[in-house]
Amino acid sequence: MRQVDVFDTTLRDGNQAEGIAFSIRDKIRIAERLDALGVDYIEGGWPNDTNPKDVGFFEEARSLRLGHAKIVAFGSTMRPGGAPEDDATLRFILEAETPAVAIFGKSWTLHAEHVLRISLDDNLKIIEDSVRYLKSQGREVIYDAEHFFDGYKADPEYALRTVLAAQEGGADCLVLCDTNGGCLPDEVGEITRNVIEQTEAPVGAHMHNDSGCAVGNTCVAVRVGAGHVQGTMNGYGERCGNADLSAVIPNLELKLGVRALPEGHLPQIRSASRFVSELANQDHWERAPYVGASAFAHKGGMHIDAVRKVAESFEHVKPECVGNDRRILLSDQSGGSTVVEKLDKIRPGIAKNDPRVGSLLKRVKELENAGYQYEAAEGSFELIARRELGTQFELFQLAGWRINVQKDASNDNGITAEATIRVRVGDTEMHTASQGNGPVDALSRALRKALLSYYPDLANLKLEDYKVRVLGGDDGTSARVRVLIETGDGESTWGTVGVSSDIIEASWEALVDSYVYGLLSRAEWQPLEVQMGPELREPV
């Protein structure tokens, strides 16, 4: 199988994206994760006296024990008019002490003459001299031909001369960059093929996404012969971002038959993608190809029925190939096949024509018509399903709650809230109170306080996300709201939902479902007909 080198620039190009700022520790952790994934090169940043964070990263990276990847320092060609051994940029690159380096130079006459303001011949000289000097210092040199495609379209002969100058200097790889991100796949294919035919060094591709074609352009470049691909995890990068390696890599391996990662590593791509988005403090894009939560999610009843019979009827690859899962979504578009699929772990083998399937489907559609939504609230759906199928599992009963919210101008925190709650577990009633930074937080704390002695596993449940959606905004402050809560226990997460014209009541409903589902899941569901009561030991 043909193989390409994967060069990840998340820590450099990705760090230039709006809203992203990796710490040194973030960059170290991401580098370790990318190495475990199996990428070949990890570009760590541009070390110089104005960028102490990148200098610090390279200092710490020296102690990393990577099993596969090479750390790469990045920079530009030397300044014109001097000697390479005296150039500050090249010195900083070498002082990073990485086995490989990447430098960029100008391919476009516009940039040479109007940005650098040097002659075209001088531009060729600094490219060749910079590469030759770095090679003389024992480094593997990857040459990034900046703005290559725009330069080639403006003056093909000169653009080609720039990469030939890098080749003459000894570059190990000539990377053609669509720096402005405006090229289309047919242009990329034709130009890349022409360069490969006229050069001897390996050719690579570095694509930006300003025309929405970065992934496609990268794949086309590989199809015509490029043996090196650059990109970032999740497509992070300046402006519209870079080629998204979480899509490029599966496309290469599953569509083009080109090896991009060590054998058996592709199923790690989704978890690596999510890891990077977490450290970048970015929401993971649900609709991302291959690695998004919606990539293999099915909602339409006819689609679900077909997927249950023949998976490839509505899935272009198997979800497990990229570490993802098939998800069956409940909605007002659902049919009996959807419910049967969702019930599989509760009642395996239940028939589509079972009257309880129809009853449950009717109940779900009634609730969705009232504003509930179960696509992201599978915890609430499972509780409803088990109740409809006859399971009893009321772990506690609410006797009542009261919330006092106060605005204190002398308090920097602004709002304080106190919740008082009365709940019954078996024959015992608890009456507790707790404060929080808002009414929902106070209510959650009071409920935990009341139940913790009966259900100590509550201490392991953590609210991870809280969303409020106004339903029918024309009703003003009397509009109904839908609250979605995501809860986790360190191993898995689940969603629950509540709907009411009162936001606290909706939050309470979602909160109770989240705790009940979490407690019963951690205790492992008992057989369908018998669930447990207090301490999950006494049958109810």
Asked if residue 269 belongs to a domain, the reply is yes
301 and 254 within one domain: no
Pairing verdict, β 173-178 and 203-207 = parallel
152 and 27 within one domain: yes
**Helix boundaries (H) for 137-155:** 148-154
Compute the distance between CA of residue 70 and CA of residue 4 in angstroms, rounded to an integer. Answer: 15
pLDDT per residue, tens digit, the chain (540 aa), is 899 999 999 999 999 999 999 999 999 999 999 999 999 999 999 999 888 999 999 999 999 999 999 999 999 999 998 999 999 999 999 999 999 999 999 999 999 999 999 999 999 999 999 999 999 999 999 999 999 999 999 999 999 999 999 999 999 999 999 999 999 999 999 999 999 999 999 999 999 999 999 999 999 999 999 999 999 999 999 999 999 999 999 999 999 999 999 999 999 999 999 889 888 888 789 899 999 989 998 877 677 778 878 888 989 999 999 999 887 776 555 555 556 666 766 677 777 777 877 788 788 878 878 888 776 788 898 898 888 877 767 789 999 999 998 877 666 667 789 999 999 998 899 999 999 888 989 999 999 999 999 999 999 999 888 888 888 655 656 688 999 998 988 878 888 999 999 999 999 999 999 999 998 887 654 433 333 344 433 333
Count of other CB atoms within 10 angstroms of residue 65:
6
The predicted pLDDT at position 473 comes to 55
Asked if residue 415 belongs to a domain, the reply is yes
Is 242 in contact with 9 (CB distance < 8 Å)?
yes
The predicted pLDDT at position 534 comes to 40
For residue 50, the surrounding DSSP H or E stretch is none
- For 162, the 3-state DSSP assignment is helix
Asked if residue 314 belongs to a domain, the reply is yes
Comparing C-alpha atoms, which of 41, 39, 4 is closest to residue 223? 4
56 and 184 within one domain: yes
203 and 114 within one domain: yes
Asked if residue 31 belongs to a domain, the reply is yes
213 and 181 within one domain: yes
229 and 171 within one domain: yes
pTM of the model: 0.72
Asked if residue 250 belongs to a domain, the reply is yes
Comparing C-alpha atoms, which of 221, 216, 114 is closest to residue 177? 221
Structure tokens that stand for 52 in this block: 């102490």
Residue 383 is part of which domain span?
370-395+455-540
Domain boundary among 351, 369, 387: 369
210 and 181 within one domain: yes
Asked if residue 509 belongs to a domain, the reply is yes
169 and 97 within one domain: yes
Compute the distance between CA of residue 283 and CA of residue 463 in angstroms, rounded to an integer. Answer: 16
CATH number of the domain to which 467 belongs: 3.30.160.340
Comparing C-alpha atoms, which of 491, 448, 484, 481 is closest to residue 466? 484
The predicted pLDDT at position 334 comes to 54
216 and 126 within one domain: yes
Compute the distance between CA of residue 100 and CA of residue 73 in angstroms, rounded to an integer. Answer: 7
**Residue 402 φ/ψ, nearest 5 degrees:** -140, 140
**Burial of residue 4, with CB atoms counted within 10 A of its CB: 0-12 exposed, 13-18 middle, 19 or more buried:** buried
Q: What region, left, alpha or beta, does residue 251 occupy, with left being phi > 0 and alpha being psi -120 to 50 degrees?
A: alpha
Pairing verdict, β 415-425 and 397-407 = antiparallel
For residue 503, the surrounding DSSP H or E stretch is helix 503-522
Q: How many domains does the chain have?
A: 4
19 and 46 within one domain: yes
Asked if residue 450 belongs to a domain, the reply is no
Pairing verdict, β 228-231 and 5-8 = parallel
The predicted pLDDT at position 536 comes to 39
**Residue 336 φ/ψ, nearest 5 degrees:** -60, -35
Structure tokens that stand for 389 in this block: 């199928």
Beta bridge partners of 43: 72
Asked if residue 75 belongs to a domain, the reply is yes
What is the separation, in whole angstroms, between the first and last Cα of the chain? 60
315 and 193 within one domain: no
Domain boundary among 440, 464, 499: 440
The predicted pLDDT at position 345 comes to 66
- For 136, the 3-state DSSP assignment is helix
Compute the distance between CA of residue 12 and CA of residue 501 in angstroms, rounded to an integer. Answer: 47
Domain boundary among 247, 279, 311: 279
304 and 224 within one domain: no
- For 480, the 3-state DSSP assignment is strand
The predicted pLDDT at position 537 comes to 36
Compute the distance between CA of residue 274 and CA of residue 279 in angstroms, rounded to an integer. Answer: 9
